[in-house]
A and B are shown apart, each in its own frame.
Chain A
């Protein structure tokens, strides 16, 4: 039943039992990404350290297995980075999915690389990163914004 590795066990299990999902109350910044094609929605809350780096990310996700797993892995990977580093990572991830190239720089996200051959599903995986970028770049403190 596996789809050329698209639904790897890691994806299914992350979707079933996300470790970074939770309420966003108290987050310093928030962002939202929505996919009008399917109604999926990822809301992201970011807690910042004293030095401005990302301390913790939580998400509230309504979506498919790929969307959920991607949101949860995004939350784990963004923590500890500075803002521009996290945004750059999201953009690199989008490039990986769109071109199928430059994946070497993102070993933790290679599990999503097969999406390159399922173009209608790429947005499922990038939605959380869009929400994160909205939170970090133009999301005013403690206000959610549309992705």
Chain B
């Protein structure tokens, strides 16, 4: 060592310039600069996504997969290129394993319907206590339709999945599928996906991960975690609404019947019968969200340009900065202390109701979510009716965390 100072780039500041890519961040709310801490509900969009969608509509748009003309062929190419991008993003072995859906909810419903139709009474599906309603209600519907059993894996008081309990839940060999979140939208818990997959597979079960929150913050490799199904949504990943992804192993997708019937999902149709198209088209009935898919492609290009290493480092540094700052706010309690937390922090503040917190934060330009976060059973497990939630994105700054904690301290004083 020569004694000269080591210059290290602060991982939070490293992404500061990226804020300029998000036009909405220059807006003011109630006369204050917008501090947007609700990205876990839906992220803001970079100009690259906005322009890609606009350019599509302005210069290169027609329906896909059926047109014999130039515009249709070019648009089909642009649409199908996104399938390759998604496969690359998540490490999928084959592009045909990538199915476009409306969102993660539809992706899970697809699996619940199509994979679910292969299940018989006596078999079971396991979810966890910290699932979003999107990964709970479809399985209840399947249970009620087919008579399978729905089992719920508990979480620890810290907010981690109880892996010992999960092992016991699958031990009887009757579980066909373990469907759990890869990152909780309430607790921020990142679940140990590979261990969960190993537990499921050892018991002969398949495993689905709801990656809606995870893929925003870290790179997923569906082969490395040995997943069977993986879902996420575009609008949380800086892309547009109306486009989501289901990835599934080809042999499973081929075995599963279609989800919805219509155009584009058949290879031939007579009044007597129809023959399904091959995957992925078997699961993509009707004209898809062409413009939104191209927007998702632009979002993936953006993420790859920023780089998951930088995004994950930014998130980790921001969480490490925010937790002690929040702890300084009188009466504030952060919910859960998971072993691995992503950029989502739920909290309560003495007896100040989360909706009052959210309204008063909003008046100061700070946008957070308040309520049960589409996870009512988790709220009951935690003994709460609601929480406030701050969530981070790659454009979040230290100063925005400071604005949050300063305003929370004011609110606490206001209700004291």
* A positions within 8 Å CB-CB of B: 1-4, 6-7, 12, 16, 37-40, 62-67, 118, 121, 124
Contact = CB atoms under 8 A, between A and B. Distances in A.
B274 interface: no
Given A37-B371, A38-B370, A40-B355, 5 more contacts: A1-B410, A1-B411, A39-B385, A64-B356, A65-B356
Contacts of A66: 355-356
Contacts, number: 50
A3 B353 contact: no
List of 3 A-B pairs having minimum Cβ-Cβ separation, nearest first: A64-B353, A39-B385, A64-B355
A107 B228 CA distance: 62
A38 B355 contact: yes
B360 A38 contact: no
Interface size bracket, B side? 20 to 34
B359 A63 contact: no
B386 A7 contact: no
Interface in B386-401: 386
A121 B360 contact: no
A146 to B, nearest CB: 16
Given A12-B415, A38-B385, A63-B353, A3 B359 contact: yes
Q: Which of A1, A2, A118 has the most CB of B within 10 A?
A: A1
10 contacts: A1-B360, A2-B414, A4-B363, A38-B354, A38-B385, A64-B353, A64-B354, A64-B356, A65-B353, A118-B359
A39 B353 contact: no
Contacts of B206: none
Contact of B386 (A39, A118, A121): A39
B213 to A, nearest CB: 21
Interface of B: 352-356, 359-360, 363, 370-372, 376, 379, 385-386, 410-411, 413-415
A68 to B, nearest CB: 8
Nearest to A4: B363
- The B interface, classified by DSSP as helix, strand, loop or mixed, is helix
Nearest to B379: A39
Contacts of B411: 1
- The A interface, classified by DSSP as helix, strand, loop or mixed, is loop
Contact of A65 (B379, B413, B415): B415
Contacts of A16: 415
A64 B370 CA distance: 11
B356 A7 contact: yes
A29 B243 CA distance: 49
Contacts of B376: 39
A61 to B, nearest CB: 11
A15 B385 CA distance: 17
A58 B370 CA distance: 28
A91 B363 CA distance: 28
B301 to A, nearest CB: 35
B31 to A, nearest CB: 12
Contacts of B353: 63-65, 67
A109 B352 CA distance: 22
Contact of B371 (A1, A12, A38): A38
B359 A6 contact: yes
Contacts of A6: 359
A56 B415 CA distance: 29
A37 B355 CA distance: 10
Contacts of B410: 1
Contacts of A12: 414-415
Contacts of B363: 3-4
A72 B371 CA distance: 22
Nearest to A1: B414
B372 A38 contact: yes
A47 to B, nearest CB: 28
A113 B252 CA distance: 57
Contacts of B355: 38, 40, 64, 66, 121, 124
A121 B359 contact: yes
Contacts of B413: 1
